[in-house]
Chains A and B, each alone.
Chain A
Amino acid sequence: MSFEPKIVGFLCNWCSYTGADLAGTSRIQYPPNIRVIRVMCSARIEPEFVLRALAAGADGVLICGCHPGDCHYSEGNYKAMRRYPLLKTLLKDYGVDDDRVRLEWVSASEGQRFADIVIDMTERVRALGPLRIKTDLQADAVER
């Protein structure tokens, strides 16, 4: 039985969530490992959410927003774009593989693109194996 990764997706309402809905209306198939959480704008996504997701058992986190220049709230995605490298540096220091946390721009008309990203990411995370932060933390807690 191959390892089934758990991936949490944070999608902005106006572009990427709509794009993911379009993948649905178009019946484009992708792996069921991703669970999506809707926010109004990618600017709402605090790095803390990503960390919490990883600690709570996610093997990967996908952040999606509108293409730069197209943000419904004008500049929200730029803010997400600026937070992301800092987050990635932090995660690297913690030993979280690069492929586990990913930022992508998906527009409302890009259903296929969303599906392709999910397919690709699922395979990469699967190859990396389980993240184990949750299980390690639990083990630590038991020890103590």
Chain B
Amino acid sequence: MAIRVNPKLINELETYGAADVQNCYHCGNCSATCPFSKEPFVIPRRSMRHLQMGLEAKLKGTLEPWLCYYCGECSQQCPRGAEPGETMMSLRRWLTSRYDLTGVARLFYRSWKAELVALILVSLATMTAFLVMGFGIGHGSLGVYAGAGALFPDHLVHLLDLGLAALLASVLLTNAFRMWWFTTGSNRNLHISLWLYVKNVFLLPYHFLTQARYRQCEKKLPWLNHLAIFLSWVTMEVLVIVLLERLHSAETDWAVHAFGYLATIGLLGGTAYALLGRARKSETHYKHTHPTDLMFLILIAGAALTGIVQHASYRWLGLDSVANIAYLIHMMFVIPLLAVQIPFSKLSHLAYRPLAMYLAAVHADALTSRQAGAAETEPVRLAA
């Protein structure tokens, strides 16, 4: 059964950032240089080819873009300037828009202005919600930051967190299921036993927490930088969700706040490094900046900065009302970041990447067990 070539697809991908993929003439230098390009994965060349030919069905079902960490070696080696690294990045964005059931992601990637508007709208909605919560439901006052009579009481914030988490989880899980379906579930050629799923399940938390595969790139600094931002962010999430009361305690709880300070430094340092790098185009993976990349970094930096203002106002300066205002603005950064970017934009990679690692290992196992019996097949293991 012949597959129809669709030359229109690369026009669509241009909005996702893939500008030069048609330059590729398949010399293979990129895959030769990629540390992750091992059987059965041909990274990035196979995806480049499918994109050039517009084989949408194949692209929708591929894991390969998620197995790439944009070290940029391929783009450096490419003799034709086809930017394979950036093409893989664009494919990740495109896949994000495909996994998303609602179609919102598609809209955001087609028009960054739409995402910006969405962020602003969510930001304003957050403001409204918090003001309603603060002045309406909680009957708090502006001059009280924590404890009784606080404008934004902890127990109400918890409820908000829960609500948001439930919403995000449901959207993300749905999209993750779609990702599984496209790449694995609907693939008639792959026969995967339940045992293979169970056997590899530890990979999910492992890759989520360590991004271990990123460490395999030749340059270690990008992994470290990313890990720093990630761990800092996870730390902050744990602090504000689980340990919110301890954070707001009148006495400084050093066990908790030390982590907070570290996390803040991590967030600011990491985002500053990334923003500077993108401005100076100092690394191959910083040469191309899509608006979603910028929005992501600015939101995190904004959240970190407002967090500092809030912390300083409350703990060091005793200016509760300033702290409350800073808190409000802080939430106006954080909620859009979580509510918009996790399900519909860049932050969704926190789910898709570990899932891709997991599924890739499952695929590899499935293929080896199919090849089992054949002499001397090198066991295909995804390096953990």
- Complex contact flag A–B (Cβ < 8 Å): no
**A interface residues, Cβ below 8 angstroms from B:** none
